[in-house]
Structure 1
Amino acid sequence: MARVAFLGLGVMGFPMAGHLAAAGHEVTVYNRTAAKAEAWSSRHKGRHATTPRAAAKGAEFVMACVGNDDDVRQVCTGEDGAFAGMAKGAIFVDHTTVSAQVTRELAQSAREAGLGFVDAPVSGGQAGAENGQLSIMCGGSEQDYAAAEPVMAAYARICRRMGDSGAGQLTKMCNQIAIAGLVQGLAESLNFAERAGLSIPEVVEVISQGAAGSWQMQNRHKSMAEGKFDFGFAVDWMRKDLGICLSTADETGASLPVTALVDQFYKDVQQMGGGRWDTSSLIARLRR
């Protein structure tokens, strides 16, 4: 068992930190809104700290799951940042979905401070975090990954090193690119079924058994048909992720025409007031 700090207790981080405590690790948590950290420590065996630095002091591993590039920089660097509290040889594991650029920047800062760094964005949404069934795609040295992987196992269904620093984030971009087109296709299919007078449950029962089947179809078709969109990853966060994908595509020369189009469809959903709806809400703009 390890001494672990966990920074960021949102819908993902709160249960992830809980799984670490349940596995027997010694866990200290930090959250920008202190009430969430207090709530976590009242439900789980562990304590909370008032700064990332204080949480990281004495930790062998420091996990983070926050919002964006600036949030990660804030919890890592500066006088109250985690890097300032970590002892040489400790490893920082970033579960936030951010740009490969900021990952490489922070990994270099960590190396200069004698720290390890693993970028480890996750997929599986809130349900995956709560059930300890996340897919984790990692970048960093083989040594740092090998040390951190048994700790991440507390909430992982699969965990794999994809390459050096930044490779985890690049793999997460592949994940979001694939999801964007898939959810749009599902939204169009269900909306077509509605307008054609078909029964969505019956349509899904048939087509899900063939090549059209997907996790999204199996788990989201009912809530999409009912117009309920509070079951997962928010549109605001998806647009943040797709923005990273599109920016990186410009750097690499990759072509992402469908991703760019779906990003604009999510913008439409935001303008409908659906920024906090889950990503399956693409169907809502088709029903207008």
Structure 2
Amino acid sequence: MNQNTRRIAVIGLGAMGGAMAAALHKAGWDVTGFDPSDTARSAAEAAGITTTATLGDVAGTPYAVLSLPAASIVETTVPQLLAAPGTVAIIDTTTSEPATSKKMAELAEAQGAAFVDAPVSGGRDGAATGSLSAFVGATEAALKAAEPVLLALTGGKYSHIGGPGSGNVVKLLNNVLAAANLASVGEALGVAKAYGIDPAKAAASISEASGGSKVSANMYPNWVLSGTHDSGFSLGLMARDAALAVDVATQIGETPSLLAAVANQWQDALAVLGPRADFTEIARVVAPAVTPAGAPGAATPAGTTPTA
């Protein structure tokens, strides 16, 4: 790949987009970042990244990575990126909707470009180190066009799920399963605490057995039991993803009752904690006794600091 084709635009410089832009910059890509937020652009510039406040400035850039808050914004962004010739591939890491990705893939293909839905998992740390995992929906031709960027973001740790939109479906299912596990592990540790068992010891023991998961092994010890709640992923986004997963199922006639109950539980937590709370703060609703901050609205225990 010559230097000209190593030009890449990163659209959306929030926690994930900013970290991906920095990782690409460190890997030798010529990165230009776009975000309407002055704060987000300033943070990217501090990492050595050129930025612009005008999306049209990056139209026709050979590669583009999208990290956006909603499918509706993807739909308005992609046509602007394709407004000038030169686009090779657009890699959409947004947790988006399959219908949107199918439409954008058709639009890009009609203009001789590729569009792949590649929602990612791995958080800020994975984004910053180029070690994310990605769920990819794309045609074979689009996948080949996007591969240099996918390799840079994931180190090869991506799964080609199927055609356009399929990456979105599996990512939403992944997130609703994580949402279910966050609630169920919290409830289980709440029971352990009620029996006088140290929740940290219970989580460690369960994590070595058949009930274990990344939630019990990492998320609860690192972010919940510690009281830090600083994963970098918001409760509002997780509540949205859980609801979207159920909507996607409903659209094809499926009725996942347990997942629907989980989605409702997250909506209830959203109403109490607000969208900006860390998603690990769900524990404060389902198992407040295991969290240093306790239940929302409760008096803060001595020696602790409220997290919401």
SS at match of 2:212: coil
| Distance in 1 (alpha carbons) for counterparts of 2:46 and 2:280 | 33
Over 3 Å counting, the alpha-carbon distance change for 1:217 and 1:263 in structure 2 is same
What TM-score results when the alignment is normalised by the length of structure 1? 0.91
Output aligned runs, 1:112-127, within 5 Å.
112-127=110-125
| Distance in 1 (alpha carbons) for counterparts of 2:226 and 2:283 | 11
User: Which residue of the partner structure matches residue 271 of structure 2?
Assistant: 271
User: Which residue of the partner structure matches residue 162 of structure 1?
Assistant: 161
Deviation at 1:167, TM superposition (A): 1.2
User: Which residue of the partner structure matches residue 178 of structure 1?
Assistant: 177
User: Which residue of the partner structure matches residue 192 of structure 1?
Assistant: 191
Over 3 Å counting, the alpha-carbon distance change for 1:43 and 1:23 in structure 2 is same
Q: 31-40 or 93-102: which moved more?
A: 31-40
Is the Cα–Cα contact under 8 Å of residues 62 and 89 in structure 2 kept in the other structure?
Answer: yes
Output aligned runs, 1:254-269, within 5 Å.
254-269=254-269
Deviation at 1:66, TM superposition (A): 0.6
Q: Which amino acid aligns with 2:135?
A: M
Root-mean-square deviation (Å): 1.8
User: Which residue of the partner structure matches residue 61 of structure 1?
Assistant: 63
| Distance in 2 (alpha carbons) for counterparts of 1:243 and 1:272 | 17
Residues paired across the two proteins, number: 282
| Distance in 2 (alpha carbons) for counterparts of 1:86 and 1:97 | 27
SS at match of 2:136: strand
| Distance in 2 (alpha carbons) for counterparts of 1:177 and 1:47 | 36
Q: Given the alignment of the two structures, is residue 28 of structure 1 paired with residue 32 of structure 2, yes or no? A: yes
Q: Which amino acid aligns with 1:244?
A: L
| Distance in 1 (alpha carbons) for counterparts of 2:104 and 2:65 | 14
Is the Cα–Cα contact under 8 Å of residues 52 and 76 in structure 1 kept in the other structure?
Answer: no
Deviation at 1:215, TM superposition (A): 1.1
| Distance in 1 (alpha carbons) for counterparts of 2:176 and 2:85 | 35
| Distance in 2 (alpha carbons) for counterparts of 1:179 and 1:254 | 20
User: Which residue of the partner structure matches residue 306 of structure 2?
Assistant: none
| Distance in 2 (alpha carbons) for counterparts of 1:25 and 1:130 | 14
User: Which residue of the partner structure matches residue 84 of structure 1?
Assistant: 83
Structure 1 residues 136-160: Cα deviation after superposition (integer angstroms, max 9, x where no partner): 0111121221232222222315112
User: Which residue of the partner structure matches residue 75 of structure 1?
Assistant: 77
Note the residue ranges of structure 2 that are not aligned, 5 or more in a row. 289-294, 296-308
User: Which residue of the partner structure matches residue 19 of structure 2?
Assistant: 15
Q: Which amino acid aligns with 2:70?
A: N
Is the Cα–Cα contact under 8 Å of residues 11 and 68 in structure 2 kept in the other structure?
Answer: yes
User: Which residue of the partner structure matches residue 221 of structure 1?
Assistant: 220
Q: Which amino acid aligns with 1:54?
A: D
Deviation at 1:86, TM superposition (A): 4.3
Q: Given the alignment of the two structures, is residue 5 of structure 1 paired with residue 9 of structure 2, yes or no? A: yes
Output aligned runs, 1:140-151, within 5 Å.
140-151=138-149
Structure 1 residues 229-254: Cα deviation after superposition (integer angstroms, max 9, x where no partner): 23232111112212221111112222
Deviation at 1:42, TM superposition (A): 3.0
Is the Cα–Cα contact under 8 Å of residues 53 and 86 in structure 1 kept in the other structure?
Answer: no
Deviation at 1:224, TM superposition (A): 1.8
Deviation at 1:37, TM superposition (A): 1.9
User: Which residue of the partner structure matches residue 248 of structure 2?
Assistant: 248
Identity in percent: 27
SS at match of 2:65: strand
Structure 1 residues 91-126: Cα deviation after superposition (integer angstroms, max 9, x where no partner): 111110111011111112212222211111111222
Is the Cα–Cα contact under 8 Å of residues 204 and 217 in structure 2 kept in the other structure?
Answer: no
Q: Which amino acid aligns with 2:126?
A: G
Q: Given the alignment of the two structures, is residue 42 of structure 1 paired with residue 40 of structure 2, yes or no? A: no
Is the Cα–Cα contact under 8 Å of residues 118 and 145 in structure 1 kept in the other structure?
Answer: yes
| Distance in 1 (alpha carbons) for counterparts of 2:282 and 2:105 | 36
Is the Cα–Cα contact under 8 Å of residues 190 and 225 in structure 1 kept in the other structure?
Answer: no
Note the residue ranges of structure 1 that are not aligned, 5 or more in a row. none
| Distance in 2 (alpha carbons) for counterparts of 1:82 and 1:110 | 10
Structure 1 residues 14-61: Cα deviation after superposition (integer angstroms, max 9, x where no partner): 0101111111111111011134223312322x421232221233x211
| Distance in 2 (alpha carbons) for counterparts of 1:270 and 1:86 | 43
